[in-house]
Amino acid sequence: MIILVVAILLLGVVTYLFHIRDQKKHPRETGQPDLEEKQETPQECCGQHLVCERDSLLAGVSKEIEYYDDEELDAWKETPSDAYTPQQVELFQEIFYTLHPEDVPGWVRSLQLRQIEVPESLRDEILLVVNEQRNSHK
């Protein structure tokens, strides 16, 4: 009987040691991220937002709305991005084209905080500028 108990305990210890060794080799499979993994930020944006909040300087720091001489855009709060008239789109373009490239991510973040959607026709241009800004800061 004692031999059986010792054999079971020995089997448990050996199994535990193999488990520890496997955790060190494959930390991702265990669900416990490495320290290096915690410090790294994902290279790709989630795609859920026009400007990736991970790269926005305003995202976690402040929820205060900053205006870029665009107070008139507040009239279109909660307007869907495909419901703008050509004149309204023109106003968005006018403001966008007068911004410095480094101000574009902050402007888009400001619009998000104010619940103003950017017209669909402008999104590609804005994303281009934001991506250039992101790449220039790396």
Q: How many helices (H) and strands (E) does the chain have?
A: 5, 0
pLDDT-derived band of residue 40, with 50, 70 and 90 as boundaries? very low
pLDDT digits (tens, 9 = 90+) for 70-101: 899 999 999 999 999 999 999 999 999 999 98
Across 21-30, 43-52, 116-125, the highest mean pLDDT is recorded for 116-125
Average pLDDT over residues 117-132: 90
Identify the pLDDT of residue 12: 86
Identify the pLDDT of residue 137: 66
Q: Which of 50, 63, 71, 70 is nearest to 123 (CA)?
A: 50
Identify the pLDDT of residue 46: 56
Q: Which of 130, 131, 127, 123 is nearest to 82 (CA)?
A: 123
Cα 41 to Cα 37, 53, 61, 116, distances in angstroms: 8, 12, 17, 28
Identify the pLDDT of residue 132: 86
Average pLDDT over residues 123-132: 88
